[in-house]
Structure formats: structure tokens, C-alpha cells
Structure 1
Amino acid sequence: MRLIRTTLLAFILSSLLAACAFPPETALYQQSPDIPPYEQDSFADYVSETRDWIATHRVFLTDDHETEIARNIPFEIRPQASSNQTSNNDAPRRGILFVHGLGASPWYFHDIASAMAQDGWLARSMLLPGHGTRPGDLSLPDYDDWTGSVAHQVKLLEREVDEVWLGGFSTGGNLVTSYAARNSDIAGLLLFSPGIEPGTDLLFLTPVIQYLWDWVDADPEDNMINYQSLSTKASALYYRSVTDVADALDAKPFDRPALITMSAHDSVLDPMAILRRFETGFTNAASRMVWYDVNPAPSNDTRVESKNSNLPDQQISNFSHLSALFSPSNPYYGVDGSFVFVENGQEDIALPDDSTKLWRSAWGHIEPGKYHARLTWNPYFADMIGSIKSVTN
């Protein structure tokens, strides 16, 4: 039996190594001198120093350096004075800190943060160390850098508001859930495609593979707010976040309000496992799960709300891992946005010359006669903001 296990492990390792990538010899895949500092005394200093760091160390993809910097630095949106929760003389009472996913940027939360600020929230979005500059920098941070930067930003936010919520996308969802589960002063969670249950059983190998191989994937870098390439060190950090959040939720279910959004066609995660985790691991009666699928969610939990993800009148077949976050009017990922994920697992299908003929879906979805680009916006964005208001109230 031991020989069988050893042989199987060797086969899996050899298969993974065969799939590993050889990136081109460019600055994108080299490393900056270090990660930027993240323990500044104020959020304003954090933004300013991070901006300077990115301006110095980023490998720019376009000639528009200012836009690239702006979409990769931390930001905050303060509530307008006319809000019913704040005034010219009153500080905001409630705040939320958003944490992006692996390879992504703070700008992933631009649309949600803007909507919540209009409702009286102080909304901040931070940058995880290793992001915002070049894919090679994802091999620089340790897991303690990620958890430490989240913890520090929480403390800064707690100085300014009475009530703190945390929000996260994918890997960021793991980080904020782990923190909130162990810190009772966090009022609740907003989780968008949280990476709690990965879509592969082989992640446990990444702590070993990171010492054998540098890159899992090396793709052309053309997206200013998301790395397309993935180092083995980054994969190992994600795996660490998975085990960390599992330990936290297994020790005690999360008993404060939480919102989770999930596409049943998510190509990165295990949607059914996350649905079951919500049913048993998020016990507050005010918690909600928004389930995007062609069919109603396979759950008897009345807190789960289903949204039809097959919208042929909008040329949408289903929802992707990231689509819940963005408004249809988003200038980069929206309906008329400047960036389109055309490489979407459709290698054997001809890309149409007319972009209006593109359909949208999760990665890898294929239908005869249709070319599917990635869906990068949420047709139900306004409804999702309504769900956020319901859960947070």
C-alpha cells in the first residue's frame, strides 16, 4: 500500500511539473527588490507610499501609466455628507475593508465600494503584498505578510468607525473570513466567490512544488488589473489560506451576518461544497447566499436566493468566478468595457470578427456555434447591492 501511495504521488508530481510553464525572459517574471511596506500609521500614508512603490516597480502594460497606477493602488471612498448615516459634522459610523483575490487588484471593489459609500459607509480596498506591480512579485510575500497587512488595515479602520465589516473576493474571502472568525469585534462579512472550497484536490502538493518549479502558468500579460500568470509560490499561499479558513470555520461556525455570492459554474472553486459550507458554517439568520445558476439552488435553506444565470437575450450563458463584483457600466469590465477576456478556453472555436456576436460565460463553457468570452459583469448588480443592504441592516 505504501508503494502504491508513493507511486501515485510521484505520478501526480510529474504530471504537475509537466504542466508547469517556462515564462519568457522579461521583467514581468522577475522580482522587485522586496514587497512594499504596509504598516503605515495612517491609511493616507499607506496609499501614498504604495502609489510611489507601484510607480517605481510596476512593469507597465500600456502607455497610460497613471490609469494603471490608479487601478492598482489601495483606495477609500468616504460617504457623502448628504447620506442619512452621516453629515458634515459626523464621522462615518460604519466601515468596510475589502480584500481582493489572487492576482487581482483593489479596483475589483470599485463598484461595490462606490455603492456602499453612497449608503453612508466608509469603504476601503487594500492591496495584498506582491500585487500591483508584476507577476514575478507574487513569489515575494509570505502568508504572514498577507494576514499581517489585513490585520493592520482592520486596526486603522477601527480608529475611524464604530462598526467594521470585512469583504473579500476569492482568496481575499478566505483571508477576511479567517480574521473575522477569530475576532469577534468584526460585525459581519461580504464574500464574493470565496475561495473556501477549491475546485481541485491537488493543492496540498503546492508547498512541495514551490521548491521544485517556479511557475504554474505563464500567459501574455494584457490585463492592467489582474495578473494572468501564476507562480507556484502564489499557489502555495492560496493553499495556506484554504487550510487556515477551514481550521477557523471547523473550530466554530461563523455566527454573525454574512453575504456570499456564488456561481454554480465557477471554474475555480467547488460551488456545491461552498453551498454546503454556507448551510452549516454560516449560522446567523440574517445571512444570505446569492446562487447564480440555470436552475434553482439545490438547497432547502431559505436563506439561499437563486438568480437565473442563463440570459440569452443578453448573450449570457452562465456566470463566471469574477462577474458578481462588477456593474454593467464598469469602464473596464462592463458591457462596453475596454477589456474583454476573449481567451476563455475556446481554442478550437474561431473568434468572430464582430465583437457583438460574442457570448459570455464562465471559463471553459462551450456551445456549438457560439464563441464565449468571460462574463466580467453582473446583470443583477443592483439586486446584489440590495442584498448587501439587507444583510448589513
Structure 2
Amino acid sequence: MIRRLSVLLFTLFLLTSCAVPPDSPRFQSSGSLPPYDQESFDQYVRETRAWIANNRAFISEDRDLEIELNTPFEFRPDKPAKRGILLVHGLGASPWYFIDIATAMANDGWLVRSILLPGHGTRPADLMLADNEDWEKIIAHHAELLAAEVDELWLGGFSTGGNLVTSHAFTDNNVDGLLLFSPGFYPGSSYLFLAPALAYFWDWLDIDDEDNIATYQSLPTHGASLYYRSVSTVQKNLDTAHFDKPVLITMSQHDSVLNPNATLTAFQNRFPNRKSRFVWYGDTPQNLDDPRVTAFTSHLPDRRISTFSHMNVLFAPENTYYGQAGSYLMLENGQDGLAPPDDPETLWFGAWGQSGAEKYHARLTWNPYFDDLLDDIREVTGD
């Protein structure tokens, strides 16, 4: 979702034009947001599911599946849980992004909940209705609900969600640790600061075909502004304080959205706990002297993988939608001059914009090291 912010914001800055949406419900807001402060998580799930069913601009024949992938969910282990984790998705994404990690953690005895950030789950235009206070309040509310049921509270976040849960953890003593997947602390775009101002003049930063039932493809300028404000908040926290509790951070060296090296530096300087781990997908960073950092090569030619993407860390190869043989193939990947091959067996996979040697790269949407990631989670959390 935020992969092209640098190019798009710079283009809008130079050109006095804007993206004009087609006449479609997907680009017209629902008019209001659903409540998120229910007294119980069960009630929150029921009412949010009903809201999605009534307000979603559906893009496929399988409406039930679209509702399912965008609805908040809870997994309870077989025995009463002493530990719980609240998971928060990224900009444009959905609670379902955590389905594989949530399943594994519930099997390990965790009470797992994944929430829907206001503005998501229905249509891209609904991102115009949300503000950062909505996002901060929903995390605070559901962290409090979960803390009342468990002895140990963890928060997890992907991309923008990583920013939000980290900022909350600096203010909430109940939080015992963090799991952060491609956290959006340091964007790769130097023009992101323009987003709040541009939002006053242009409604849409990017308009794409909406063919992915788990993710918005289009981005209102206000959505980029929300991400910018999450960056500003988390960077202020990281500039002034340490987070002394355990944290797991994952990052791809070739992340097209973020500045991976800045995130690694922040881990070394701001997350001092000896149990913490940084999982780096790519070449081993030079002059690295931190035993808490583990590198996995992201160049796997035997699997036609050139690099790891911003999103692929979250998904098991067996995932039925984004997995190695999943039903959704992310072909549109920011390449010029090449057309997708007719034979999918000749496709290569990588980060946004990956190209080279006449190889067409689709987006890598699964993690070949998913089982290793689960082991790292267990190590950091003390399982």
C-alpha cells in the first residue's frame, strides 16, 4: 500500500493534477465509521462483521470470503491462556494478515486477537473518515480488554501497525513485549512530510484496480497523512526513550517502502533487552557486532526468489491466498518493459520494483523461513 509513496508524492508536488477516481462505490465513503469501544471483544467482532457486510464495496463473487478476511478475529487455546497478544495490521491491509502467525501462537497457548483499524475492511474511500486518534483509541481500548483476561500482554504490528503498537507500548506499563513485522518507523520516502498538506488539495494519491480482497490497492492522500503522523509519533518516542522489554523485529534488506538500515540502527540503540531479536532478510550487514541479529539470505534462486518484500514475512508458504500455491498472484509489481510470462512456472518473485535479466518478478507474498520465524517468536517470548 505505501510502497510507492515517494514517487507519488513527488509527482503530485511537481504537477498540479490529481488522481481522479472512477464513478464507483469503492471510491465513495460509507459516511461514518463503525464503533470499536464495545464492552467485549465478542461484541466488537459481531458488530464489525455486520458493518462490513452492510458497507463493503465487494469486488468478487465470494462475499462471505471477503467479509471473513476483513473481520477482526480471536483464537483461544484449548486451555485457559495466561498470555495474550493483540495484533494490528498495516495501512490498507486487514486483520487476516496475521492468520498464520495467530494460528501458530494459539496452538502454543496464547489468546490471540487481531483488530480492524477504522477506515479499513470496506472500501478505500473510508480511509478518508479515520484519524490517528481513532487508531490510537482502538488499540488502547482492546489492549485494556485483553490485559484484563491475561497475566502477560504482548502487542504485535505490521508496518503502520508496528508504529502504532510501539507508540502505545511506550505509554502502557501493562505491555510485556512487542512483535514487529516490517515496522514503518523510517519510511524510504523523503517526501512523506508533504502528505498532510497535499490532503487538503487532492483526495487520491493512487488509484488502482481493486482486485485483492485482503488489501486496498488504492490510497487516499489522507491515508498517507495518517501513516506520516504514525511515523512522527513513533520517531519522537524512539528519539527520547528506550523500550527495555523484549521485542522481535523483522526487516527485509530490499524493503521498497522503508529504510531497513535505520530500523536496524534503532533496534541496536533503542531496544536494549538481551532477549530481543532482529531478523534480517538479506545479506549479512557489514560490521555487525550484535548477537541478537540473525540474517537469512533472501536470494533463493532454486525457488525463483530474488529478494524479500515488505509484506511476505507474515505468510506461511501453505497460505491459501498469498502462499506459494495461493489463489492470489500479485503480478503488478512496478516493472517496466516486461510483460508477465504465460507460464507461471517461469515467474520470479521479489520486492516491489524488483527486475533483472529478462526475469519477470511478481511480488513475493510468502515467507520461505516461516517456521524459523515462529521459532524466533518463541525464543523472544520465552516459550
Interval of TM-score (by shorter of Structure 1 and Structure 2): over 0.9
Q: 1:68 aligns with which of 66, 69, 79?
A: 66
- Given the alignment, which residue of 179, 188, 194 partners 1:205? 194
- Taking the TM superposition and a 5 Å limit, the aligned residue runs for 1:249-288 are 249-288=238-277
After superposing on structure 2, the runs of 4+ consecutive aligned residues of structure 1 that deviate more than 4 Å are 11-14, 16-19
CA distance in 2, matches of 1:99, 1:14: 30
Rounded to whole Å, the distance in 2 between the matches of 1:332 and 1:110 is 11
Equivalent of 1:48, from 46, 49, 63?
Answer: 46
User: Does the CA-based 8 Å contact 1:297-1:305 persist in structure 2?
Assistant: no
Identical-residue share of aligned pairs (%): 56
Helix, strand or coil: the match of 2:170? Answer: helix
Q: Distance in 2 between matches of 1:75 and 1:17?
A: 43
Determine if contact 2:147/2:174 at 8 Å carries over to the other structure.
no
Deviations 1:97-152 (CA, angstroms, capped at 9, x unpaired): 00000000000000000000010000110000000000000010111000001111
Q: Distance in 2 between matches of 1:128 and 1:63?
A: 25
Which residue in 2 is equivalent to 1:30? Answer: 28
Q: Give the structure, 1 or 2, with the largest relative contact order (CA under 8 Å, sep 6 or more).
A: 2
Partner of 1:297: 285
Match of 1:365 among 354, 374, 377: 354
Q: Deviations over 1:291-332 (max 9, x none)?
A: 000x21232211110001000000000100000000000000
CA distance in structure 2 between the aligned counterparts of 1:361 and 1:114, rounded to whole angstroms: 26
Measure the CA separation in 1 of the matches of 2:12 and 2:214: 32
Assess, with a 3 A threshold, how the Cα gap between structure 1 residues 256 and 103 changes in structure 2: closer, same or farther: same
Give the equivalent residue in structure 2 for 1:181: 170
CA RMSD in angstroms comes to 1.3
- What SS does the corresponding residue of 1:235 show, helix, strand or coil? helix
Contact 2:87 2:156 (8 Å CA) reproduced: yes
Match of 2:207 among 218, 233, 246: 218
Q: What is the alpha-carbon distance in structure 1 between the residues aligned to residue 119 and residue 202 of structure 2?
A: 18
How many angstroms does 1:56 deviate by? 0.2
Per the alignment, in what secondary structure is the counterpart of residue 182 of structure 1? coil
Give deviations 1:153-212, integer Å, cap 9, x for gaps. Answer: 101101211110000000000000000012122000000000000011111111111001
Rounded to whole Å, the distance in 1 between the matches of 2:51 and 2:81 is 30
| Structure 2 gap segments, 5+ residues each | 1-8
Q: Structure 2 matches for 1:57-136, cutoff 5 A?
A: 57-80=55-78, 87=79, 91-136=80-125
Rounded Cα–Cα distance in structure 2 between residues aligned with 1:343 and 1:156:
40
1:20 shift after superposition: 3.8
Q: 1:337–1:203: structure 2 CA closer, same or farther, 3 Å change rule?
A: same
Computing the radius of gyration over CA atoms, which structure comes out larger, 1 or 2? 1
CA contact (8 A) 1:292 1:307 kept: yes
Say if 1:216 and 1:155 are closer, same or farther in 2 by CA, change over 3 A: same
**What's 2:321 paired with?**
332
Retained in 2: the 8 A contact 1:182–1:248?
no
Residue 323 (str. 1) matches residue 312 (str. 2): yes
Matched, 1:389 2:383: no
Using structure 2 for the length normalisation, give the TM-score: 0.95
